[in-house]
Amino acid sequence: MIAEFYKYHGTGNDFVLIDNRSLGFDKNNIKFISKICSRHTGVGADGLILLENDNQYDFKMIYFNSDGKQTSMCGNGGRCIISFANKLNIIDNKATFSAIDGIHEGIINKDIIKIKMNKVSIIHEAHNGCILDTGSPHFVKFCKSINNINVFESGRELRNNKEISEDGININFTEIIDNFSIKVRTYERGVENETLSCGTGVIASALSAYSKGLVDTNRIKINTLGGELFVSFKFNSVYDNIWLEGPAIEVFKGYI
């Protein structure tokens, strides 16, 4: 099989995207997907995303972590597939698509892509941090000077802490910069390492900071190692109308 792919990144969170509307890609071949994502023996990516047809919506997003396993929602990956669908002339500047956690909307403004995420109703404070699900499960730990944290070692330890999550969880080290901006570094399960950015992770950090009164705006700027993102939302007993905004860039095209 020869498969055409595109490499995209959203603030350094990088993905292999494949147009699978013909259903020719083997979604059950975990070893092959992992090899594609390998930075030494493959294309190199934090995850692989398939775009497929959907009977009701513009398209369907199927996401795999770099370990080859299909997993929960990816915010930056969602922004990249919106840009990819535009490139394939499936959509113009707006999209409605299905993913593992439900239906999402997207808006394109040149290289800036916005994705609407699902409601968040519960933020649970435990283990000196916040636990919540923003499409993927996250633990948010507020710290000072996160540049000095060994995210790989500390993140791996917390990710595997059964008292925080039986199934494993993404870890976000979050620093408050001022009343409207934060800095986030994330250890992602499935990648099992720090990524340059994590969309659902920065949403989790932004909502947690707001819930604790550490920021006082509902549009928060987030600095990640890979660049700048914005999270906006409305709050009225639940967090709703949540949007993740930032660049989504095509890097190159190739064949597997």
With contact defined as beta carbons under 8 Å apart, do 71 and 64 qualify? yes
Q: Which two tokens stand for residue 28?
A: 């059950």
Please count the CA atoms within 13 angstroms of the CA of 162 that sit on its side-chain side: 0
Q: Is 198 labeled as catalytic in the residue annotation?
A: yes
Its sign, for the CA torsion 241, 50, 13, 201, is positive
> For residues 221 and 228, is the Cβ–Cβ distance under 8 A?
yes
Token duo for residue 4: 């055409």
Q: Minimal CA–CA distance to 57: which of 18, 96, 16, 23?
A: 96
User: What φ, ψ does residue 148 adopt, rounded to 5°?
Assistant: -95, 0
Set 37, 74, 80, 130: catalytic member:
74
Catalytic residue among 37, 80, 130, 198: 198
For the chain, give the number of residues: 256
Q: How far apart are CA 139 and CA 133, in angstroms?
A: 9
Active site residue 74: yes
Residue 222: strand pairing partners: 182, 229
CA 56 to chain centre: 24
> Which active-site residues does the annotation give?
74, 198
